[in-house]
């Protein structure tokens, strides 16, 4: 099995939104902000080549809505064909795209404008099946007030229309090496992939735990739609991660790619900070 991290770009969010009710004088010791109080957030995707399948986890924001989303000051947004070519793949080689959820910074790269004037879309990964939590898909089609601005029809409706959408209603093994588990909190029906690589288990935590600084149970984002569920689900994930010495792979942490976690008197903390050890 081969693993490759793909840095799909960076965007910027207000620190108060990123860390919710945690005071700035506390969180800024763990995660920096600029003079305007904005934190730089990565969009770190993961490509897993099992031999039989080539699975991409999340796709970043793409470039379709960058003007509309300019508030977030996106930087270094990639072209997947160009990036995949650097590691010996093409977009047509991808067999599966696993989407943790359907907010724009996670699924925008699923499609592109084949004709920018008419805004005719095409699938970035034309041969892939796209895996989405069933409840997340229902939320995408009929969003609540808080999430409506995070969903864009052009990101995912073409996938559905092409017959490439696969809905996940329960935990499921995509391959013998990759388990897809469902979590709630930040939004409903998030997929968290668990990648079993020999004795090492890599957990692509997505927005269940967006950054290493978000590991403490009460440190949740103001973007989390269901705060209590978010804390409960984080604790469920961390309990196993600490006891099994799993490696957390962070999608949004610009400064920390991976870490282990430890339970210190019932409180979860960063264990060993790691650079991603797959091929990159």
DSSP per-residue string spanning 43-74 = EEEEEEE-SS-EEEE-----STTTTTTGGG--
SS3 122: strand
pLDDT (0 to 100) of residue 279: 60
Query: How far is residue 237 CA from its own chain's centroid?
Result: 15
As a CATH number, domain 2-274 is 3.60.15.10
| CA distances (Å), origin 155, targets 86, 108, 110, 119 | 25, 5, 6, 12
Q: What percent of the chain has pLDDT over 70?
A: 99
Q: How confident is the model at residue 85 (pLDDT cuts 50, 70, 90)?
A: very high
pLDDT (0 to 100) of residue 118: 83
Exposure string (b/e) for 236-254, b if CB count within 10 Å is 16 or more?
ebbeebbeeebbbbbbbbb
| Mean pLDDT, range 70-81, rounded to an integer | 97
pLDDT digits (tens, 9 = 90+) for 100-137: 999 999 999 999 998 888 889 999 999 999 999 999 99
pLDDT digits (tens, 9 = 90+) for 172-228: 999 999 999 999 999 999 999 999 998 999 999 999 999 999 999 999 999 999 999
Counting beta carbons within 10 angstroms of the beta carbon of residue 83, is it exposed (0 to 12), middle (13 to 18) or buried (19 or more)? middle
Q: Where are the domains of the chain?
A: 2-274
Q: How confident is the model at residue 280 (pLDDT cuts 50, 70, 90)?
A: very low
pTM: 0.96
Q: What percent of the chain has pLDDT over 90?
A: 95
pLDDT (0 to 100) of residue 115: 86
């Amino acid at each position: 099995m081969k693993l490759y991290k793909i840095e799909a770009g960076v965007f910027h969010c207000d620190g108060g939104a990123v860390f919710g009710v945690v005071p700035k004088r506390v969180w800024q010791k763990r995660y920096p902000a600029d003079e305007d109080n904005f934190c730089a957030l990565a969009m770190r995707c993961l490509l897993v080549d099992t031999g039989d399948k080539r699975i991409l986890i999340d796709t970043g924001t793409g470039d379709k809505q960058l003007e509309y989303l300019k508030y977030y000051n996106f930087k270094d947004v990639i072209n997947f064909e160009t990036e995949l070519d650097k590691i010996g793949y093409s977009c047509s080689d991808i067999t599966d795209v696993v989407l943790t959820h359907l907010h724009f910074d996670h699924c925008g790269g699923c499609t592109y404008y084949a004709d920018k004037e008419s805004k005719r879309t095409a699938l970035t990964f034309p041969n892939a099946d796209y895996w989405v939590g069933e409840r997340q898909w229902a939320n995408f089609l009929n969003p609540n007030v808080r999430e409506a601005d995070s969903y864009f029809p052009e990101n995912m409706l073409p996938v559905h229309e092409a017959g490439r959408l696969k809905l996940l209603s329960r935990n499921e093994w995509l391959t013998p090496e990759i388990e897809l588990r469902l979590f709630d909190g930040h939004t409903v029906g998030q997929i968290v992939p668990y990648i079993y690589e020999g004795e090492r288990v890599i957990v692509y935590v997505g927005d269940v735990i967006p950054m290493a600084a978000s590991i403490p149970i009460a440190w949740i984002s103001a973007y989390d739609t269901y705060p209590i569920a978010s804390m409960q689900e984080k604790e469920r994930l961390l309990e196993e991660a600490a006891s099994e010495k799993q490696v957390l792979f962070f999608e949004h942490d610009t400064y920390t790619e991976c870490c282990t976690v430890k339970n210190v008197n019932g409180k979860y903390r960063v264990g060993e900070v790691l650079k991603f050890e797959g091929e990159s």
